[in-house]
Amino acid sequence: MKKLLAGPVPWLTPMLVLIFGVVLWPVFEMIRTSTLEISGSGKEKGFVGLENYRELFENSNLAGAFARTIFWVVVVVVITMLLSLFLAQLLNTEFPGRRYVRWALIVPWASSLIMTATSFRWMLDGYYGILNRVLLDLGLIDDAVEWLGSASTSFPWLIVVAIFVSLPFTTFVMIAGLQTIPGDLYEAARVDGARPVKTYFSITLPLLVTSISVATVINLINVFNQFPIIWVMTGGGPGYDTDTTTTLMYKLAFRSQEIGQSAALSVLNFAVILIFVYIYLRATGFTKQKQD
């Protein structure tokens, strides 16, 4: 018994089994599926090489979803980062009631995305939604607007909601970053007569670089993978007008029964994630550290 507990095997095996069985096997299965012809009912009909990829590239919905995904990820992540820098600065300063503001910020983070998105869908409802009532009362619109009825208004709202749910996590990462900056640095800057703006750009921002890069990459991955918000608010519709490559991948498999094409798109999406993960490992210095 003593000998058995000595090596890494008994301590690490359960974890490795779970990782290999449930995380890595699906990766393999996904790649394999992308090279198979699969019937609508899920029967394998043999190896077809890159045929699924060819069909995917001929899919008329792919180009739009691809362009939209880039726009979606860039806009959501950039605005989230900028707003979170402001929020973190605010919440890192002492003021009465600060603790409760932090708690309020945790609510969207802890809540189910499905439920948050459902509430937004309800508030944006063209007939019964509170947003139209507010805008009508303020005189900003003359007639009720069906916000989620077409992509030109629904996609911007999807972006707003995605930023809304990304802000809490990002802000807390930034607060953690701000707290690592030694107070005497600010004291020295003050003694030297540096103005607050100069202090921010020459002390605060440079020392936040790690936090900013880590939060940026985690957000890139999360926003790229975002599914519940789009699914609940527009379902990627009308048609395919608000789909990203993530929701398109899902619809291909589970709405159009194009499992092969869907697997091909999954592999491409997954390759994008791998690039982000590599950047993350570089940003955290993981690849440089001595791990053993």
Partner 1 sequence: MKLAKKTSLAVTGFFVAAIFLIPYIRMLITALTPANEVFEIPANYLPTSFDFSNFFTVWDSGPVARYILNTVIIAGAATLVVLIVAVPAAYYLARFRFKGRGLVLLLVLATQMFAPTSMVIGIYREFVALGLVNTYLALILVNAAFNLAFSVWILTGFFSGIPEEIEEAAMLDGCSRFNVLRRITLPLALPGLLTAIIFTFIAAWNEFVIALTLTSSPDVRPLTVGITGFIGLYETQWHYIFAVSLVAIIPVVILFISIEKWLVSGLTAGSIK
Enumerate residues 208-227 that contact partner 1 by CB under 8 A. Answer: 210-211, 214-215, 218, 221-222, 225, 227
Handedness of CA 122, 123, 127, 130 (dihedral sign): positive
Choices 54-62, 67-75, 108-116, 145-153; region in contact with partner 1 by CB under 8 A = 108-116
Q: By the 8 A CB rule, do 259 and 249 touch?
A: no
Q: Is residue 186 involved in binding partner 1 (CB under 8 A)?
A: no
Q: Which of 40, 60, 103, 152 binds partner 1 (CB under 8 A)?
A: 103
Q: Which of 3, 93, 138, 197 binds partner 1 (CB under 8 A)?
A: 93
CB of 11 to partner 1, least distance (A): 4
The alpha-carbon radius of gyration of the chain (Å, integer) is 24
Q: By the 8 A CB rule, do 82 and 75 touch?
A: no
Handedness of CA 249, 108, 76, 150 (dihedral sign): positive
CB of 240 to partner 1, least distance (A): 18
Q: Which of 155, 177, 230, 234 binds partner 1 (CB under 8 A)?
A: 177
Q: By the 8 A CB rule, do 164 and 249 touch?
A: no
Q: By the 8 A CB rule, do 118 and 235 touch?
A: no
Place of tokens 């990462």: 173
Strand partners, 273: none
CB of 271 to partner 1, least distance (A): 10
Give the separation between CA 256 and CA 100, rounded to whole angstroms. Answer: 47
CB of 266 to partner 1, least distance (A): 5
Q: Is residue 207 involved in binding partner 1 (CB under 8 A)?
A: no
Q: Which of 3, 110, 138, 139 binds partner 1 (CB under 8 A)?
A: 110
Binding mask 63-92 for partner 1 (x = CB under 8 A): ------------------------x--xx-
- Which residues are CB-neighbours of 1 under 8 A, at least 6 positions away? none
Choices 47-55, 71-79, 100-108, 150-158; region in contact with partner 1 by CB under 8 A = 100-108
Q: Is residue 178 involved in binding partner 1 (CB under 8 A)?
A: no
Burial (CB count <10 Å: 0-12, 13-18, 19+), residue 108? middle
Choices 14-22, 48-56, 71-79, 183-191; region in contact with partner 1 by CB under 8 A = 14-22
CB of 15 to partner 1, least distance (A): 4
Choices 47-55, 64-72, 194-202, 259-267; region in contact with partner 1 by CB under 8 A = 259-267
For partner 1, the binding residues in 112-151 under the rule CB under 8 A are: 112-116, 118-123, 125, 127-130, 132-133, 136, 144
Give the separation between CA 159 and CA 80, rounded to whole angstroms. Answer: 10
Give the separation between CA 87 and CA 92, rounded to whole angstroms. Answer: 8
